[in-house]
Amino acid sequence: MAVLSAACASAGDDLATQPVQELPQASAELATQPVQDLPQASADLPNQPVQELSQTEAVSPWWNDTVFYEIFVRSFYDSDGDGIGDLPGLIQKLDYLNDGDPKTTNDLGVTGLWLMPIHPAASYHGYDVIDYFSVNPEYGSLDDFKRFLEEAHQRGLRVIIDLVLNHTSTKHPWFIVSQTPSSPYRDWYIWSDTKPGGLGWHESSSGFYYGIFWEGMPDLNYRNPEVTDKMRGVTRFWLEEVGVDGFRLDGVKHLVEEGSIQAHAQGTHSWLREFRTFYKGLNPQAFGVGEIWDISLAVSKYVTNEEVDLAFSFDLAQAMVTSARLGRAYDVARVLRREVGLFPSGQFGTFLTNHDQERAMYWFTGESGKARVAAGLLLTSPGVPFIYYGEEIGMTGKKPDEQIRTPMQWSSAENAGFTNGEPWIAVNPDFAEGVNVASQTADDASLLSYYRELIGFRSRHAALRVGEFFLAESDHKTVLAFLRVSEDEILLVVINLGREPVQDYSLSMKEGPLLGTYLAEPIFGYSGSALELVASQQGAFESYQPVPELKAQHTLILQLQPGR
């Protein structure tokens, strides 16, 4: 049996099954929401330029000020010529990600790193763990990891690692011993003497075992308190003895099975609530982001019920890619409005694609304009953004999984500068055509330069990181507009997703947080002046056209200053 998904996507989740012409709808439930419905404005606060905000900004945790970068260590940079990326190589490339000096502009500017599994594993991807307490020797040693962590922290980079809770490898010592029926480890996994009905059961010489993803990944049995205790020990080790800042929790909707219920069981919710209480007890600042690949209506419950700190919004990722690809605002406007109502303010992870999906540039068929507006959507929207390595230079890749995890493209040199040896998998040949870091660093108009500019802009403006979100209406199908409002700043973001410039557009809000007249100053994406904005009694505005023309596939940001 083949691996369903090396990083634990459920059946039917794979975008590869969808035609390129049209991504699937985020969910039928979301599709019923009209674009023109807006969030309710907060109550009036007399004599202030902005109505009273929630306490989001005052209480926002550190991850809301963070832009994360997802790294597959195997494919990032090889320091020793064996063709496999490693931790010493990652250390050498940290200055590319963030050099620790906020005055420089030639680093990417991300402030958080998510490392895909770094533990010894049976497969190249690492999601079938053999030992939770050590580092894959192909990547280096535990001391190498500690040195990497120290170097990252010196640059202001937080580091989270993949924690694969749901299952181990069949080659893990626990599972090997569990195959003996009398073993005390038998109950660490889910065994049956006869084959039960339903999916996920696999035959061995000593009975049938349960593994929802693949026969090589048997599920752990969290009804057994010994398993919970052991995985808490793993968590304690990496938080306290090693010093990571948190975890990306893989495939957690499947942790506990209850009869025919294989996902979102009440036992899973209960286990995660207790687990979060546990790791917060070790370190109140420890961070857990859940991978719960499902519609947001289901995903958001894990956050609202305090089972994880943050969860990825797959609905929003899909909508961002769809809107950027098709050049229409409706998809992303619809889902953005819904997400801010479903999740606690800002507590969802945003991304375009990840290691389980065709790369964003595959969906954009190599068109850099689409990639630019997608970057604009990602880095101006609410939530916590995650960038998949190579996305910032437009790396492409189509499944199978290995082809969406190919080596990082550093230069136009042999093997894209990834290795001096034979790479573990061939580098995508477009590295020689400018899809590499060196070429794009030298080009101020490149996609990489644009990502650097956007990330730096987000880091300087709290409104984009933790500000409230208010969706505006546009009378043009390619134009998306919204306000981001923090205690000290009001930003109006206007994105033209279309391939053509737009002059015949206007923006409106029925209700909003504004009071009085505002001077509109373009601070990103426009060098001219803008028309002042006059708010209505409802705290909003009507038929506003800030600049005469919106450039094609372009992001414009205006700062609204209270006028006289």
157/68 Cα distance (integer angstroms): 9
User: Rounded to 5 degrees, what are φ and ψ at 7?
Assistant: -120, 25
- Please name which of 215, 83, 94 lies closest in space to residue 148, comparing C-alpha atoms: 94
Catalytic site positions: 250, 291
Peptide linkage before 120 cis (omega within 30 of 0): no
Task: Using CA atoms of 153, 68, 111, 331 in order, give the dihedral in degrees to the nearest 10.
Answer: -170
Task: Using CA atoms of 408, 412, 415, 417 in order, give the dihedral in degrees to the nearest 10.
Answer: -60
The residues, any chain, with a CB within 8 Å of residue 302's CB and separated by 6 or more, are 252, 253, 269, 272, 290, 292, 308, 311
Contact 133, 241 (CB under 8 A): no
User: 3-state SS string over 168-181?
Assistant: CCCCCHHHHHHCCC
For 465-500, b/e burial (b = at least 16 CB within 10 A) is: bbbbbbbbbbebebbbbbbbbbeebbbbbbbbbbee
Contact 447, 368 (CB under 8 A): yes
- Please name which of 186, 262, 261, 191 lies closest in space to residue 226, comparing C-alpha atoms: 186
Contact 442, 109 (CB under 8 A): no
252/294 Cα distance (integer angstroms): 11
334: part of which helix (H) or strand (E)?
Answer: helix 330-342
Pairing of strands 287-290, 310-312: parallel
How big is the CA angle at 5 (ends 382 and 75), to the nearest 5 degrees? Answer: 75
Q: Residue 511 forms beta bridges with which residues?
A: none
Q: What is the DSSP string of 278-297?
A: HHHHH-TT-EEEE---S-HH
The residues, any chain, with a CB within 8 Å of residue 460's CB and separated by 6 or more, are none
Sign of CA dihedral 98, 100, 106, 109: positive
444: number of Cβ within 10 Å: 10
The residues, any chain, with a CB within 8 Å of residue 55's CB and separated by 6 or more, are none
Contacts 24+ apart (CB under 8 A), 72-75: 72/116, 72/355, 72/389, 72/405, 73/115, 73/116, 73/118, 73/136, 73/139, 74/124, 74/126, 74/138, 74/139, 74/405, 74/424, 75/389, 75/405, 75/406, 75/407, 75/408, 75/418, 75/424, 75/425
Residue found by looking up tokens 């987000």 in the block = 458
